[in-house]
Chain A
Amino acid sequence: MKKITPNNEPLLTSDSEFEKKDLGRRDFLKFAGASAASLAILSVASCKKDRDDDMDNGGKGMYFGSGDIAILNYAYALEQLEAAFYIQLVNNPYSGISDMEKAFFTDIRDHEIAHREFFKVALGAKAISNLEFNLSGINFSSRASVLATAKTFEDLGVSAYNGAGWLIKDPKYLLLAGKIVSVEARHAAWVRDMIDNGSFANQEVVDSNGLDLAKSPSVVLSAAAPFIKSKIDVKDLPTY
């Protein structure tokens, strides 16, 4: 358990955020569970009573910054993860991959690299470093494993941008997020159709109001945590 390293300050400081904080604690427990898979990540939602215990490493992880910068780094981290996955996929295609699948996975790889490199340049000195990932749980020789992972990443990406949109303060960044999220949704729909034609927007991702998933940064990061090897410090990343 010692790899779990909560940050120093509680993310939510207002008293009225008590309920949200409680949710944050639940996310924290997810992190704790994930630690069994030797993950080392700083919790996005810590709790005050942990701040002085020996689980506190003083915030040595990669610092995402605060406000919009933190959100851009959060997007950058997710794009890095997706790019790493598709690079490995295209370099080691599963046997029997169709021409169309190979062409479209190559397209998607290039899109994710474009997103990754864009954030890197746009963030400049404020960009986090290259993250290390743990993709060992993915069987790249298995079409089913690859498609299932792609579906997870794409749906997660869509829900991440949808859920973080209202936290963004600068309309230019919001527009950029909007330009990217619909491309991720196009990917998600295609990957889903490769698994089961017609599942592009099924009930797993679209509710009875016709709305797609939207998830808070803390929820998204806990889902991505098993794939992220590097320590990250997201204590100032806006979330809810």
Chain B
Amino acid sequence: MNLLNVFDQINAVDPEFSDRISPRREAIKNLASISGKVTLAAIPFLISELFKKAYGATAPTDVNGVLNYALTLEYLEAEYYTMGVAKAGLIPSGRPLGAITTIRDHEVAHVNFLKQVLGNKAVSKPTFDFTAGGTFGNVFSNYDTFLAVAQAFEDTGVRAYKGQAGILLGNRVVLTAALQIHSVEARHASHIRQMRRARGGGAADQKPWITGSNDTGIGAVVDPIYAGENNVTQAGVDITNLSGPMGKISTNAATQSFDEPLSAEAVLNIAGLFIKA
């Protein structure tokens, strides 16, 4: 059995295959190198695990798919804040701990709400690695890292819900609920951005709204989360050509005034960095 041939064949019909498993690209190499060491019987299992990672969380195409996609993101956020609040000494007591606790409660409520709506169709909670394989190694020991990752999650969440609204078109109950969660995530994002601003340093210029692409000061590691946020054209209208208070609308204001959606594939690639299994 030639595994690498299998991958080549998959790539032939699905050129994005290696992108799908991009965070796991190491796994392919590992698989190739260990294939000589494991028994043949184990290989189908390894392949199916790899496929699950690549395709298991696929882009939703129906209402339940959107709800499970949302649930996966809410599991991520709920566990993140639950662990953060539980970590003694991580979040300063008083207003910061109060705010993070409020956000945790909302994310836990979102998980419970979505599970209730989905009933036995609900996906189970993945196992998370909030260090993203060591990228954010001090996420639960350094408050600034904790806030930075929180901001990345909230801004991703806002983009993720927006990207799926079309599938829920006209659905009074589900679309409305999704929008109601979506705006709560935006409120969270706004507050976390203010918390980071108050910390100063590299985050001193943070605003509650997103300016251009990747205004976070976190670095290129979060570029995919903000890709496309610098868009200034809405429904064919160049916002920077519109009349502003003095002359035209500025480019900064044009990007701030519209939040952009993110495709499910892009969101799952981002979330995948934090999902172990």
Contacts and interface: CB of A to CB of B under 8 A. Distances in A.
Contact of A104 (B109, B186, B208): B208
Contacts of A213: 180
B8 interface: no
B207 A104 contact: yes
Interface residues of A, number: 56
Most interface-central of B107, B108, B179, B253 (chain A CB within 10 A): B179
A158 B190 contact: no
A182 to B, nearest CB: 4
Given A115-B257, A200-B190, A206-B184, A214 B242 contact: no
Interface stretch (B29-37, B50-58, B60-68, B170-178): B170-178
For B95, B99, B208, B254, the residue with the greatest tally of chain A CB atoms inside 10 Å of its CB is B208
Interface in A103-127: 104, 107, 109-115, 117-118, 121-122
B113 A211 contact: yes
A144 to B, nearest CB: 20
B237 to A, nearest CB: 5
Interface stretch (B12-20, B142-150, B161-169): B161-169
Given A162-B180, A182-B183, A214-B176, A197 B106 contact: no
Nearest to B184: A212
A110 B186 contact: no
A198 B95 contact: yes
A211 B244 contact: no
B179 A114 contact: no
Contacts of B185: 182
Interface of B is mostly: helix
B179 A178 contact: yes
A90 to B, nearest CB: 8
Given A118-B239, A198-B95, A169 B170 contact: yes
Contact of A188 (B166, B187, B234): B187
A131 interface: no
B242 A210 contact: no
B194 A193 contact: yes
Contacts of A182: 158, 162, 182-183, 185-186, 259
A112 B103 CA distance: 27
B175 A166 contact: yes
Nearest to B253: A110
B114 to A, nearest CB: 9
A168 interface: yes
Given A107-B207, A109-B245, A189-B187, A178 B165 contact: yes
Given A113-B244, A210-B184, 13 more contacts: A115-B257, A117-B242, A166-B170, A169-B170, A172-B235, A174-B166, A178-B182, A179-B234, A182-B158, A182-B182, A185-B187, A187-B208, A201-B106
27 contacts: A87-B245, A104-B208, A107-B256, A110-B249, A110-B256, A111-B209, A118-B235, A118-B237, A122-B234, A162-B180, A165-B165, A169-B170, A174-B166, A175-B166, A178-B261, A182-B158, A182-B162, A183-B259, A185-B186, A185-B187, A189-B188, A200-B188, A200-B190, A210-B106, A210-B110, A211-B177, A212-B181
